[in-house]
Amino acid sequence: MNEIEFKRFVGKLVHYYNRKTIPTTQSLNIWLQEVERIPAEALDFIFNHIKQGDSFPGNLPKAMRDGWQEWIRANGKSNGGFVECEDGCDRGILFVWHTVHCTGFAFRCARCNQSDLIGIPAAKYGDLVRRGYERQ
Ligand SMILES: [Zn+2]
């Protein structure tokens, strides 16, 4: 998503929870770095995921990534057509955690290519490990 889409999303949440204060520009910029890889098409789903909570998320980027992973699971090919992959992906998706940046991401598994989700990058697990990721 781009900056405009992100700020629109945050603004909607601020209004949903009727918050009296809005996040600072500094916070928004830091948060955006954490979530800019999430495709804009997932934002409606993520909004519905986050609004199940009783209050504005204490860690918005984390809440957005959780919602994004739910979206990926919900939009992945659903049933039996998937074969076991030696990279251990989940229906063609690799859920990984960056050990230095402490951020979670999802990639399409480039070994089995079993997911045709658009909007997320493809990678092989071994290459992700070399880039500092590990399985979630
Ligand atoms: Zn795979």
pTM beyond 0.75:
no
Residues 66 and 100 in one domain: no
Q: Are residues 52 and 84 in the same domain?
A: no
pLDDT for 80 equals 54
C-alpha 108 – ligand 1 centre gap (Å): 8
Cα of 1 vs centre of ligand 1, distance in Å, is: 25
* Residues 59, 8 share a domain: yes
Considering the domain architecture, whether residues 95 and 53 belong to the same structural domain is answered as no
Whether 3 and 68 share a structural domain = yes
Instruction: Note whether 82 and 71 are same-domain residues.
Output: no
pLDDT digit string (tens) for 17-66?
999 888 999 999 999 999 988 889 899 999 999 999 999 999 999 999 99
Domain count within the chain:
2
Same domain, 133 and 107: yes
* pLDDT (tens digit per residue) in 99-134: 888 888 899 999 999 888 878 899 999 999 999 999
Task: Clarify whether residues 23 and 51 are in a common domain.
Answer: yes
Range of the domain at 121: 78-136
Report the residue count for the chain. Answer: 136
Task: State the pLDDT at residue 33.
Answer: 92
Helix (H) or strand (E) holding 67: helix 60-75
Q: Are residues 99 and 58 in the same domain?
A: no
Q: How far is the CA of 123 from the centre of ligand 1 (A)?
A: 10
pLDDT of residue 76: 65
The reported pLDDT for the residue numbered 79 is 47
Rounded to the nearest whole angstrom, what is the distance from the C-alpha of residue 23 to the centroid of ligand 1?
Answer: 39
Q: Tell me, yes or no, whether 110 and 59 share the same domain.
A: no
Q: Which long-range contacts (CB under 8 A, 24 or more apart) does 64-67 make?
A: 64/34, 64/35, 64/38, 65/34, 65/35, 65/38, 65/103, 65/104, 65/105, 67/42
The answer on 1 and 62 residing in a single domain is yes
